[in-house]
Amino acid sequence: MADWHRAWPAPAKINLFLHVVGRRADGYHLLQTVFRFLDFGDTLRCEPRHDDRIVLATPLPGVAPETDLTVRAATALRAATGAAAGVTLHLEKRLPMGGGLGGGSSDAATTLLALNQLWRTGKTSSQLQQIGLALGADVPIFVHGRSAFAEGVGERFADLHLKPAWYLVLVPAVAVPTPEIFRSAQLRRDTPAIAATDWRPGFGRNDLEPVACALYPEVARHLDWLRGYGDARMSGSGACCFVEFSGEASARAAFAALPADMRGFVAAGMDRHPIQVVSDE
């Protein structure tokens, strides 16, 4: 029963670049990106129940519990495995909604990883990724658990080993709805694709950034400030932005200079998810 007392981390991710290389007939956009995890995120705790209910003890304001990704992930895993157990989920949120850091997707993946162990369902990584993909395009990378070059709708991975780095991440006080960015007529959808082996640090850009900046000037303002320290980029569909540093001291010095009306955090990059990766064996 010891694992039931465990705190399960749900880390943030950033996109080191993000290109839209096409669009499928069903409307889904084809992407190429590099995912990296950060040593900063949400925390999930799971409590066993004596009935079969799935209960979120910490609902988010304005989000119906049954639509929360943690509840949906637990429900999907139970449906896929025939498990009859119930669970109470306690989620400590640190990642912003509509921030492009993968908060909801990370929470869903951590729920799958945690309950796969706690309920002893025995699902492999590939099986959990398939369950996760139905919940959201970013869920599989958190289940996969390694820094990776990703493509398709974000579900095909080539693992990468990235150099150690620290990041200053800014969190503008706006929530950017991902569908709004992807349906914009101004979004570029024809960036030439590359081979995963051709990617190098510093390559490319975020194709979603110009649209987000035009719709949400606060994103542009935060990026402009960060560019005083280097090649600043938006993560995902925004609103969060980041710049890379080679060491912690320089990242924290920049954070100390942050204007009073901006907020953010400093975090180290991680090559592996802090929860032990589930094998496919």
Sign of CA dihedral 63, 69, 70, 75: positive
Residue 89, classed as helix, strand or coil, is: strand
Site of tokens 């869920």: 139
Distance CA 242, CA 36 (A): 12
Say if residues 223 and 213 touch (Cβ distance below 8 Å).
yes
Distance CA 11, CA 107 (A): 8
Distance CA 57, CA 72 (A): 14
Site of tokens 């943690």: 70
Distance CA 35, CA 43 (A): 20
Say if residues 151 and 141 touch (Cβ distance below 8 Å).
no
The one catalytic residue in 13, 42, 107, 123 is 13
CA 59 to chain centre: 19
Rg (CA), the chain: 19
Active site residue 123: no
**138 vs 100, 249, 259, CA distance in Å?**
10, 31, 31
Site of tokens 């975020």: 206
Residues 6+ apart with CB under 8 A from 196: 149, 151, 158
Distance CA 31, CA 153 (A): 6
The one catalytic residue in 42, 68, 107, 138 is 138
Active site residue 13: yes
Distance CA 176, CA 14 (A): 15
| Residues tagged active-site | 13, 138
